[in-house]
Structure 1
Amino acid sequence: MNRSLNSRQIQLWRIAIYFIFALPGFAIASWVSRTPNIRDALGATTAQMGWIIFGLAVGAIIGLLVASHLIANRGGRFVMIAGLVVSSVGLIVVGLAGTWLTSGIILFLGLAVFGFGNGICDVAMNVEGTAVERAAQKSLLTGFHATFSLGTLLGAMTGSAAIKAGVSVTVHMMLAVIVIILSILFLYRLVPAGTGQENDDDSNDPPMSARERMAIWKERRTVLIGIIVLGMAFAEGSANDWLPLIMVDGYKVTPAIGSFAFGLFVAAMTIGRAAGGMLLDRFGRVAVLRASALFAIAGLLLVIAGLNYGVAYIGIVLWGLGAAFGFPVGLSAAGDDPRGVAARVGAVSTVGYLAFLVGPPVLGIIGESVGLLRALIFVLIAVTIAGLLSQAARPIAQDNKIKRV
């Protein structure tokens, strides 16, 4: 598959994947930016909104779990585009439920559909990303993830502008969907069909059975990469959910300064990912992962120390730079073997998103007892373990075979 592409086709494929990575970030930020308006329209409490938003997690996890089977049967392009279309449908339902229908149940279902579309698209676009890396013979996945962050930033800015202009949630979601659909219509032609699809006619690379795809979860290398991604995703997700409150509660700063600290973290992580391809091509995965773990450890120690918010800012930058690489580099490593690439990328993606979804609430529970600054010690431990296991991400050609646990 995709073996006969010329350099121009590979370049166009690469450009298309950059833009496609930005679309889910744009969609998610479009929804998140209007959550206060939707909450007020529903008259929901914080606890009720928590349960409603849980629909997004349910849909995403289901999507992540089934994505590899869909990709094996239909190919990455089909699943990626289908995921964006499904998430667009969910976004429309969210817009209608949030202001016009004002129904928490319909909003829950809309978010579940939205999450499912994002889940299958996430795995598919990472499978495409690893395939582009192999075709271009360059490290590109960190750059792809940087455009996801840029898409999120664009969505947040658009949402802020829509609020200031008095645009209703329904109209805002409709406009966001139009942007996504028009982008799909232009970009899908640049992506070759069949990436990750397993062909019965290929005698040299026979397709995996459903049982073999499930057995991916027992492979020693895949499990270790999953642990690396788990630790680094925990570091990223904890900052996403708690950093403003960590600064406000731990350093007694204003909410505005807490928000600035979070912006600093996101900026550092985006810059790190933008430069990641160059660093990976020069130093290799293992060295970059070890260095990123050390950066994150140093940053977390500076934040946990609680000296003053100036020192904490330095720690936040190091934390952001360190957290930038674990997820994309782990997915790149999971995609080394073209046979079963969708299953391995899907497994590692699922572990990473579980860390995003489950880790921060657990940190909040711990922080309730010992304080959020001390609770970061658990993030520190997770990152340390990830750094110690970095050798597992070395290119598969250096391994004799993939072993099961």
Structure 2
Amino acid sequence: MPLINKPSSPLTPSLTRLRIALTVFFALDGFLFAGWVVRIPAIKEQTGASASDLGLALLGVSAGAVVTMTLTGRLCARFGSHPLTVAAAVLLSLSMALPAQTHSALALGLVLLVFGAAYGGINVAMNSAAVDLVAALRRPVMPSFHAAFSLGGMIGAGLGGLVAAGLSPASHLLVLTAAGLVVTAVAGPVLLRHPSPTAHEDTGPAPPPGARGDDRARLSGRTRRLVVVFGVIALCTAYGEGALADWGALHLEQDLGAHAGVAAAGYSLFALAMTAGRLSGTTLLERLGQTRTLVAGGLTAAVGMLLGSLAPTVWLALLGFAVTGLGLANIFPVAVARAGALAGPSGVATASTLGYGGMLLGPPAIGFLADWFSLPVALTTVAVLAAVAAVIGFAARRTPAVQDSEARAGSRPPAAERASAEPCRTERR
């Protein structure tokens, strides 16, 4: 213990400032993304795009993000995750103003390539920085960052709903650009002045077996497949988050006749439920364990989304959105944490990329399905994939590697588990 505590104490003020700054960037990411999401119906009308045209344009977000995600990890290794976080935040803020300047689906898709590149870059860079900070703090604080993202999304969607009727998309998104640049100017210097705390991890607990150089070379094919399995679980649930973000407001307004402000509040309610679920995620994991949390969350989200997509009234649909948010809240963190426990950072990278890919590919898929069938029917695919995630998680419970991960995460009493460094190893992601 002395070897661990001695070097950690002088770092506390610095790490606290880093944690606050990173929390601000997570919240800013959610805030800006939600601000774009609630103006999608207005942008669709402005460009005259059909559902399938809008789906193709939204594919620009996916394409830009996927390309950037594959590069950001290498850039973080070369330049550090902190400068990359700040640079991506600047680009994301500037790109917010672009969609409202377009008047065709093609132009919208092109500017969304830039938006997607910035969005993918900041998510990879922020999560990389958060992983380092979690390890340095010796505390499983990762859920708090994701809760900040959800809270930022809730606030962004709520404010967007308030101004949707009285402020043009161009003015609204330009205000978001200014807000993003101001927040980055305030919080960015904290990250730029402080290097990543990764260098201080040597005194901490040992990394998960998959993260050690000697073990990484010996990862079995079964372990690699399991990592992909948990990445697929992350994809299934993130698909739902992306679909609700981009199509939830349009479903409420177009299919159920909701006022623009009420429609925008749908995503805000979903984000609020996700925030509450993530804030209580640690307690839930301690009481139920990872497998039960994953399975219960998937089934809850499936029921909620069936209600949200097929309900005949706005208020029942809003209730369904809220239940879906509660169900999806902790599945992504559990899936990525398990992948990290199995294969260390490489497992985290694989699962995270698949997960964010699901979030970004979901909206265009919903667009195509909405043209072929209808938007309510297309949204039921969110329920189907949430149920698939629950089934996969339940089926994987008997795998020895997963049982070892579950035992490390939940075999100790809650008090002892909180006092140990074991959860920090699981959270290394």
Q: Counterpart in 1 of 2:114?
A: 113
Calculate the TM-score normalised by the size of structure 2.
Answer: 0.70
* Kept in 2: contact 1:127–1:196 (CA 8 A): no
Q: Counterpart in 2 of 1:71?
A: 76
Q: Counterpart in 1 of 2:236?
A: 231
Q: Counterpart in 1 of 2:36?
A: 31
Structure 1's 346 and 235: CA in aligned 2 closer, same or farther, altered over 3 A? same
- Offset of residue 56 of structure 1: 2.1
Q: Counterpart in 2 of 1:45?
A: 49
Matches for 1:301-340 after TM superposition, within 5 Å: 315-336=320-341
Match of 2:166 among 164, 176, 192: 164
In 2: Cα distance, 1:247 partner to 1:113 partner: 28
Give the share of equivalent positions with the same residue, in percent.
Answer: 29
In 2: Cα distance, 1:273 partner to 1:347 partner: 22
Task: Write the deviation string for residues 125-153 of structure 1: whole angstroms up to 9, x where unpaired.
Answer: 11222333333343322221121122223
Match of 1:348 among 342, 348, 351: 351
2:72 is matched by which residue type in structure 1? A
Structure 1's 259 and 344: CA in aligned 2 closer, same or farther, altered over 3 A? same
Determine helix, strand or coil for the equivalent of 1:168.
helix
* Kept in 2: contact 1:72–1:197 (CA 8 A): no
- Offset of residue 325 of structure 1: 0.9
Q: Counterpart in 2 of 1:128?
A: 129
Q: Counterpart in 2 of 1:153?
A: 154
Q: Counterpart in 2 of 1:403?
A: none
- Offset of residue 353 of structure 1: 2.2
1:18 is matched by which residue type in structure 2? T
Q: Counterpart in 1 of 2:87?
A: 82
Q: Counterpart in 2 of 1:288?
A: 293
In 1: Cα distance, 2:338 partner to 2:194 partner: 22
Q: Counterpart in 1 of 2:270?
A: 265
Moved more, 60-69 or 303-312: 303-312
In 2: Cα distance, 1:364 partner to 1:104 partner: 13
Structure 2: stretches of 5+ with no match in the other structure:
410-429
Determine helix, strand or coil for the equivalent of 1:113.
helix
* Kept in 2: contact 1:75–1:194 (CA 8 A): no
Match of 1:387 among 393, 396, 412: 393
In 1: Cα distance, 2:167 partner to 2:264 partner: 23
Structure 1: stretches of 5+ with no match in the other structure:
400-405
In 1: Cα distance, 2:352 partner to 2:296 partner: 22
- Offset of residue 225 of structure 1: 1.6
Verify: 1:378 aligned to 2:380, yes or no.
no
Q: Counterpart in 1 of 2:188?
A: 185
Match of 1:12 among 4, 7, 17: 17
In 2: Cα distance, 1:265 partner to 1:146 partner: 13
1:277 is matched by which residue type in structure 2? T
Structure 1's 230 and 105: CA in aligned 2 closer, same or farther, altered over 3 A? closer
- Offset of residue 70 of structure 1: 1.8
* Kept in 1: contact 2:49–2:104 (CA 8 A): no
- Offset of residue 246 of structure 1: 6.1
- Offset of residue 61 of structure 1: 0.9
Moved more, 29-38 or 62-71: 29-38
* Kept in 1: contact 2:243–2:363 (CA 8 A): yes
Calculate the TM-score normalised by the size of structure 1.
Answer: 0.74
* Kept in 2: contact 1:222–1:344 (CA 8 A): yes
* Kept in 1: contact 2:248–2:266 (CA 8 A): yes
- Offset of residue 55 of structure 1: 2.4
* Kept in 1: contact 2:249–2:264 (CA 8 A): yes
